[in-house]
Structure 1
Amino acid sequence: TDVDECLYNLDMCGPNAECTNTIGSYTCTCKAGFQLQSDGVTCLDINECASGNGQCSDLCVNQEGSYHCACRTGGKLTPNGKDCEDIDECTSVWLNRCRSTAYCVDKVRGYDCHCTEGYRPYN
C-alpha cells in the first residue's frame, strides 16, 4: 500500500512548491514564477527582470514569484502593463511647478518652465 506523503505532510517540498504523490514517493512542482533546484524540493524565485528586462519598456521590478513593469518620473504605464508613455505635465497646474509668470514646455520625462516676456528667472 502506498503512503501519500503529500496528504500526511511527510514530504520535504518547500513553501513555493506543490507536492504530488507518486507510487512509493512524491515529486515537488514549483509554483508559477519559481524554479526547482537540484535538490528536487527547493523552489527559488525566477528573476524575470534578468532576461530582456521582463519585456518592460522602462523599469522592471522583480517580486517574489512575479514581477511588474514601472515607469520613471514623467511617464505612465499603458494598459498593456509593459510600455510607458510620456505624461504631459503642462496640461495641469497640479503636474508642474511653473509660476504664474512662466509657461510650461513639455519634454520627454519632464518639463521646463520658461519666463513669459518681461520676466527673468528667479534664483
Structure 2
Amino acid sequence: NVTDTNLPINNNNTCKDIDECLFSPSVCGPDSICINEIGSYNCSCLNGFTATNPSLTVSINNTCTDIDECLFSPSVCGPDSICTNEIGSYNCSCLDGFTATNSSLPISINNTCRDVDECVDISDVCGPNSICNNTVGSYNCWCMSGYNVTDPNLPINSNNTCKDIHECLDSVSVCGLNSYCYNYNGSFSCFCWEGY
C-alpha cells in the first residue's frame, strides 16, 4: 500500500506494509492469534484450540475449534477424577469420596485425587456407639455390640445413631427364672434373687 494513494509511487511516496491483523473481521477467524509480518501475516490458534484441519494452516477457511481435552487425553486429570471440557480449557474435580492430594493446588495429573478417610477426616461421621470402616471412595458404619441403629431403614450416621439395646426389656427371659436383669450401655447383667 502506498503512503498517499493520490500520488504516484516514487522516493517520496513509498509502499508500506499492510497490517492484515487489524482487519475486521479477523483474517484468521475466531479463537486465533494473528501475527503481522512484512508483506504477509501468520495465524495460530489460542491455547486450548486447534485448526479444524490440523494438516492445513490456520485461516478464515480453516478456523480454530475447541480441543476437548477430556476426550483427547482421558488421564489429563489423573485417577479418581472427573474431567469437564470448557471452551478453550477443561476443569478437573474429584469423584465423591476423594479429595485433591494438595488442596491448595488445582487437580491435575501432578496433583491427583486421593481417598478421603471419612473415619479419620470427618468428626464423628457414624455417630456415637458405632464402628467406622473406611473403604475406597466411601465408608461403612456398624453399631457396636449391644447397640442397634435408631431407624433400621436408614444408614447409620450422625443423624441416625446407634442406641443401647435394653436387653432386659427386649427379652424377659434373658436371665432365666428366679433372677433379675440389670441393663447398662452396651450390655446387661443378671443377678439371682435373694435366696437363689
TM-score for the superposition, normalised by structure 2: 0.53
Unmatched 5+ stretches in structure 1: none
1:103 deviation in Å? 2.1
Letter of the structure 1 residue corresponding to residue 123 of structure 2: V
* SS of aligned partner of 1:104: strand
1:6 partner SS:
helix
Find the residue that maps to 2:27 and give its secondary structure.
coil
The separation in 2 between residues aligned to 1:105 and 1:75, in whole angstroms, is 16
- The equivalent position to 1:101 in structure 2, one of 119, 123, 129, is 129
**Could you say which residue in structure 2 is the equivalent of 1:12?**
27
Poorly superposed stretches of 4+, deviation over 4 Å: none
What percent identity do the matched residue pairs reach? 39
State the 1:6 CA deviation. 1.1
Retained in 2: the 8 A contact 1:6–1:19?
yes
> Which residue of structure 1 lines up, in the alignment, with residue 83 of structure 2?
60
- 2:162 alignment partner in structure 1: none
By relative contact order (CA 8 Å, sep 6+), the higher-ranking structure is 1
Residue 9 of structure 1, CA deviation: 4.1
**Cα distance between partner residues in 2 of 1:88 and 1:101:** 19
Number of aligned pairs? 121
Once the two structures are superposed, what CA deviation does each residue of 1:20-62 show, in whole Å capped at 9, x if it has no partner?
A: 1234443321111100224723211101111331432132222
TM-score, normalised by the number of residues in structure 1: 0.80
Contact 2:21 2:27 in 1 (8 A): no
Pick closer, same or farther for the CA change 1:93–1:10 going to 2, 3 Å: closer
Matched, 1:89 2:118: yes
Larger radius of gyration: 2
C-alpha distance in 1, partners of 2:75/2:67?
11
